[in-house]
Amino acid sequence: MNKYLLSKKLIINELSTFYSFLIGLSIGITIGSIILLTQGQNPIEVFSLMLKLSIGSVKSISSSLNKATPLILAGLGISIINSVKLWNIGAEGQIFMGGIALNFIYISSEISNPNLMIIFLLSSSFIGGAVCILFPAIAKVLFGVNEIITTLLFNYIVIGLTVYLVNGPWKDPGSLNFPAAAYVSKEVYLPTVFGRLSYGFVICILCTLGVHYLKEKSVFGYELRIAGGSALTAIYAGINAKQKAFVAMLIGGGLAGLAGGVELLSQTHRVSTGLSQGFGYTAIIVAAITGMRPFGIFLVGSLFGALTIGGSVIQTMGVSSYISDVIQATTLFGALIAQFFFTYKIIRVSEDV
Amino acid sequence: MFDIQLMGLLNATLQAATLLFIAALGELITEKSGILNLGVEGMISIGAVTGFMTAINTGNIFLSVLVGILSASIFSSLHAFVTVILKQDQTVSGLILTILGLSLSALMGKKYVGKKLPVKIESVFNIDEPKNIIEVFLNQNYIFYLSIFLMIFTAYLLKKTMFGRRLEAVGEDSKAADSMGLNVNKTQFIATCVGGGFSGLAGVYLTLSYVPYWTDNMTSGRGWIALALVIFGGWKPYRTAIGALLFGFLEALVPRLQTYGFELSPYLVKITPYAITIIILIGLTIYKGGRTGAPSNIGIPFFRESR
């Protein structure tokens, strides 16, 4: 009888994550096609329409990149938190909290210079996101409470708070049936670079470079990796692992909050339950699929932004927009399966010996 | 009058608790083997939608329950395949199982939104207005009694049977279990699929009894509360049941607070169960001083070095 054993490969191809992603994407598209076929649609027709509407023109490319912006920002935040081996499932709530904090500051302050005001508002959205993760971070660092559950439960709390605000204190009488807060003034809209592309994407590029530097090149990033490794190593190295974890969580939450702020100032222009359409959850896929690499998050986030735009426009064809969620999720599953073959080799041993 | 309200509250508590408890019990079995499955929310959705679709098309309750359980179990085998056989990260795989389950069930159930069920899981003894606690208990449906049986059965299974001891051995120290000749992969794979089946049952209970219709994302975080319940119960079936009753009580009480004369915003009231869950989790972790009763090997893939 033969038995199969696994052995970790000593040398793992540096581009294995990238190849795994490509394999995963083809699996995702295949499964998406099968689902489309079962719904009586022609996959080639649907996908070519999706391509055309997401990257076919300057206008559609800029919409895709705008859509990618919150995914990338929240994904970067998740990757920072993951460098101390912690998970942030609460990006969705932090995005909303960023929007809420921004609107709160917008209502209660007066700055005559619009540019200064934009910077001030975006900073407040960053702080809002950080405040949103503060409680789970304290619970984790002081008492060791599982951060996956607490950050996730905070999503429901913050979204509940949003619903309360837009139906109650912040309700704009002008928006008739759809509960939403009042629009912010045009002066504080984020300007566009060209076409529809918002300056939010520029912020996104800067943050990608910043997070790459922070994680890979800075002393702080090195300390984060040690803190996320063995507890003993951190003690020998004189690193306060808990303090590093705490700071990493606040920065990560803040980036997700900033995603909400940018989305508000560039796209929705007001607080409503439509501020985030599951960006926080998609950002987890984006971050995980790239092995938490900032540049990877930037590329995959852009692609998923295009996929989301494509997914939302094919709704007019009677295809559910959930199809793009399914493609994204199966892409990650496919990538996980492919990753196995890059990291392990299967050895066959004979047991009869 | 007050009595009827109180009995209504008790009834709603038991119904909410049943759903949470079944899902939590399944996750408990999975986690005992050292596999963390964060996909509970997705598995409940899959069970809920497939059970609902079967009920609409066939009108056969028994078949619907069976289909719900089996499809969620098959769906969870994806997690088992990726984490047990391919040794990939359990957190990532579980999260994606949730996202995939929610979106896949929304796709499948698209044509069923707003449809009326021809059949519903009936209560065993039909009592119009339960007047005392006993009548409330008798007024529950079959799945409620099944969940009590499952609780006793699981507690027995874990403590007294070979399967339970094997599960615990694998979850506590998979390397030692392996050298004792246990098949770690097989045990973990089975435990994950059994957990998926339980979630499927919870899903069927959701769409065929608790709220008898189908909409997208109707699980609304209950899968995550089930995950918290496992921690709350310290990986023990009876304690998990107490936790489920407590959370069920909160879910039932909150919408009733206003009828009792409390002036509260309904939107803010909705978030209290989630907030209380977090506070209880923190209190519990402090109280136990880090000794939560979690299986030592949870989340760590078992990997046998080649010899």
Does residue A322 fall inside a structural domain?
A: no
**Residue range B184-191: mean pLDDT, rounded:** 93
Does residue A143 fall inside a structural domain?
A: yes
Question: Which member of B88, B102, B282 has the closest CB to residue A145?
Answer: B282
Query: What tokens were used for A122?
Result: 């975006």
User: What's residue B52's pLDDT?
Assistant: 94
User: How many structural domains is chain A composed of?
Assistant: 1
> Which chain B positions have a beta carbon within 8 Å of A9's beta carbon?
none
> Which chain A positions have a beta carbon within 8 Å of B95's beta carbon?
89, 284, 288
CA distance B107 to chain A (A): 6
**Residue range A178-199: mean pLDDT, rounded:** 89
Going by pLDDT thresholds of 50, 70 and 90, the confidence category of residue B306 is very low
Question: Which member of A149, A320, A333 has the closest CB to residue B96?
Answer: A333
Q: What is the reported pTM?
A: 0.90
Q: Do A146 and B270 touch (CB under 8 A)?
A: no
User: How many structural domains is chain B composed of?
Assistant: 1
Strand partners, A347: A5
Does residue B127 fall inside a structural domain?
A: no
Does residue B27 fall inside a structural domain?
A: yes
Q: Do B100 and A326 touch (CB under 8 A)?
A: yes
CA distances from B176 to B162, B191, B304 (A): 16, 18, 11
- In the DSSP assignment, the letter for residue B254 is G
- CA proximity to A276, closest of A92, A121, A90: A92
Q: Are B34 and B171 in contact (CB under 8 A)?
A: yes
User: Is the pLDDT score of B131 beyond 80?
Assistant: no
Residue B200 phi, psi dihedral angles, 5° rounding: -60, -40
User: What's residue A351's pLDDT?
Assistant: 64
User: What's residue A49's pLDDT?
Assistant: 86
CA distance A7 to chain B (A): 6
Q: What is the residue range of A117's domain?
A: 71-293
Q: Closest residue of B to A341, CA-based?
A: B86
User: Is the pLDDT score of B288 beyond 80?
Assistant: no
Going by pLDDT thresholds of 50, 70 and 90, the confidence category of residue B290 is low
CA angle B103, B106, B111 (to 5 degrees): 155
User: Is the pLDDT score of B8 beyond 90?
Assistant: no
**Residue range A44-55: mean pLDDT, rounded:** 87
Does residue A315 fall inside a structural domain?
A: no
**Residue range A287-291: mean pLDDT, rounded:** 90
Going by pLDDT thresholds of 50, 70 and 90, the confidence category of residue B276 is confident
Q: Do A161 and B102 touch (CB under 8 A)?
A: no
- Give the dihedral sign, CA A47/A49/A53/A56: positive
Does residue B197 fall inside a structural domain?
A: yes
Does residue B205 fall inside a structural domain?
A: yes
Lowest mean pLDDT among A111-120, A202-211, A229-238, B102-111: A229-238
**Residue range B232-247: mean pLDDT, rounded:** 90
Residue in the block written with tokens 């119904």: B15
- Selected for mutation to probe chain A from B282, B288, B298, B305 (highest A CB count within 10 Å) is B282
**Residue range B16-41: mean pLDDT, rounded:** 94
Q: Which pLDDT tens digit goes with each residue over A216-269? A: 999 999 999 998 888 788 888 888 889 999 999 999 999 999 999 999 999 999
Instruction: Say whether residue B307 is in contact with chain A using an 8 A CB cutoff.
Output: yes
Does residue B99 fall inside a structural domain?
A: yes
| Spatial distance between the Cα atoms of A327 and A318, rounded to a whole number of angstroms | 17
Query: What tokens were used for A44?
Result: 């080639």
Q: Do B100 and A329 touch (CB under 8 A)?
A: yes
With left for phi above 0 and alpha for psi between -120 and 50, is residue A238 left, alpha or beta?
left
**Residue range A121-140: mean pLDDT, rounded:** 96
Does residue B124 fall inside a structural domain?
A: no
Does residue B119 fall inside a structural domain?
A: no
Q: Closest residue of A to B271, CA-based?
A: A157
Q: Are B277 and B151 in contact (CB under 8 A)?
A: no
User: What's residue B14's pLDDT?
Assistant: 92
Does residue A319 fall inside a structural domain?
A: no
Q: Do B106 and A322 touch (CB under 8 A)?
A: yes
**Residue range B14-23: mean pLDDT, rounded:** 94
- CA proximity to B279, closest of A343, A214, A145: A145
Q: Which amino acid is at A29?
A: I
Q: Which pLDDT tens digit goes with each residue over A75-124? A: 999 999 999 999 999 999 999 999 999 999 999 988 788 889 999 999 99
Instruction: Say whether residue B86 is in contact with chain A using an 8 A CB cutoff.
Output: yes
Q: What is the residue range of B250's domain?
A: 2-114+132-288
- Selected for mutation to probe chain B from A141, A156, A349 (highest B CB count within 10 Å) is A156
Q: Do B78 and A333 touch (CB under 8 A)?
A: yes
| Spatial distance between the Cα atoms of B171 and A54, rounded to a whole number of angstroms | 47
Does residue B126 fall inside a structural domain?
A: no
| Spatial distance between the Cα atoms of A236 and A223, rounded to a whole number of angstroms | 12
Q: Closest residue of B to A35, CA-based?
A: B107
Structure-model confidence comparison of residues B202 and A7, the more confident one? B202
Could you report the predicted ipTM of this complex, rounded to two decimals? 0.86
Q: Which pLDDT tens digit goes with each residue over B249-275? A: 888 887 787 777 777 777 887 788 888
| Strand A344-350 relative to strand A192-194, pairing | unpaired
User: What share of chain B in percent tops pLDDT 90?
Assistant: 44
Q: Do A87 and B91 touch (CB under 8 A)?
A: yes
Does residue A62 fall inside a structural domain?
A: no
Question: Which member of B92, B277, B278 has the closest CB to residue A336?
Answer: B92
Does residue A228 fall inside a structural domain?
A: yes
User: What's residue B307's pLDDT?
Assistant: 40
- CA proximity to B87, closest of A336, A35, A277: A336
User: What's residue B305's pLDDT?
Assistant: 60
Identify the CATH number of the domain in which residue B13 sits: 1.10.3470
Q: Are B68 and B201 in contact (CB under 8 A)?
A: yes
Q: Do B38 and A148 touch (CB under 8 A)?
A: yes
Does residue A116 fall inside a structural domain?
A: yes
Does residue A348 fall inside a structural domain?
A: no
> Which chain B positions have a beta carbon within 8 Å of A322's beta carbon?
103-104, 106-107, 216
